[in-house]
Amino acid sequence: MSVFLFTLLVLLGSFIAGLLGALTGLGGGVVIVPLLALVFHVDMRYAIGASLVSVIATSSGAAAAYVREGFSNMRIGMFLEIATTVGAIAGAMIATHVSTSTIAIVFGFVLLYSAYLSVRKQPAPPLNPTQDRFSRVLRLDGNYPTEKGSQAYTVHNIPLGFGFMFGAGTLSGLLGIGSGAVKVLAMDQAMRIPFKVSTTTSNFMIGVTAAASAGVYLARGYIDPGIAMPVVLGALGGSMLGAKVLINARTKTLRIVFSVVIVALGAEMIFNGFTGRL
């Protein structure tokens, strides 16, 4: 395969990955790593390095649009980033001491169960929700635009969500992905944040998480500009388009897309874990 064709195909694949990452809040890394490693036979370490850079690009491209439209909750994102950043650094530091194959297998099964949680029928929210004590102190409650106007929401289970975010950051450092799946599930299921707010806030957060991990890979020489350049350009374009599409997308449709993606990701993680590819 020529360099030009390789660059063009990686650019196209990264564009699709960025679009999917922006729509689901997962970040494009969940698609880019297997794309580079399994399709283009790029060394896993360099695939992870390029993926982390693309996650930063995806987050930067989508986050600005989401904040402008009033979907992302900046206070929640900045608060939870404390946990994800610490987790990302910890994950990158222990990556050489823990079998990533074992972690990939466990992570895969967790994602499969997460897909079930995401599509199951959700209980109706209370008409007059009580305010969480931590949410009140930290002023995390907010509102987001809907077809019927601005809709207020209350954030719950802050300590539980904070713990989930530490785990998400650790997985990001270990596996080279933005861990958007864990972030979205933590905010959507544990903290009871509306799904569109969860996905958009996740997009805002994953860039910081990936940046904490990318520094380790950059120091080890695992970020190749020849691979990272088309990945970044494609993921950035896809994420900006995804940000525009998400604004008018139906929540039910997003949940289905989200579930399909993480089922595929979970199955791939389990397969790669058992075969020793991760």
Q: Which stretch of DSSP H or E encloses residue 89?
A: helix 74-94
Q: Which of 257, 227, 237 is nearest to 62 (CA)?
A: 237
Q: Which domain holds residue 237?
A: 3-275
- Compute CA 97 distance to the chain's CA centroid, rounded to the nearest angstrom: 24
The Cα 202–Cα 179 span in angstroms is 9
Note the residue count of the chain: 278
3-state secondary structure of 125: coil
3-class SS of residue 148: coil
> Residue 69 in 3-state DSSP?
helix
* CB contact at 8 A, 206 and 179: yes
Query: Which pTM was predicted?
Result: 0.70
Instruction: Say if residues 269 and 179 touch (Cβ distance below 8 Å).
Output: no
Q: Tokens at residue 256, please? A: 């289905």
Query: Would you write out the chain's pLDDT as a tens digit for each of its 278 residues?
Result: 789 999 999 999 999 888 877 776 666 677 787 788 878 888 877 888 888 888 777 776 667 777 777 888 888 988 998 998 888 888 877 766 777 677 778 778 877 876 776 666 554 444 445 566 777 788 888 888 887 788 888 888 888 889 988 988 887 777 766 666 678 778 887 888 888 888 888 877 877 777 877 887 788 888 899 999 999 999 888 878 887 787 677 767 776 777 787 788 788 878 888 887 76
> What are the Cα distances from residue 5, in Å, to 103, 175, 240?
34, 28, 24
Strands of 130-252 (E only): list them.
Answer: 142-146, 149-153
The pLDDT score that the predictor gives to residue 242 is 80
Helix H or strand E encompassing 196: helix 195-219
* Total domains in the fold of the chain: 1
Q: How far is CA 60 from CA 57, 135, 236, in A?
A: 5, 26, 8
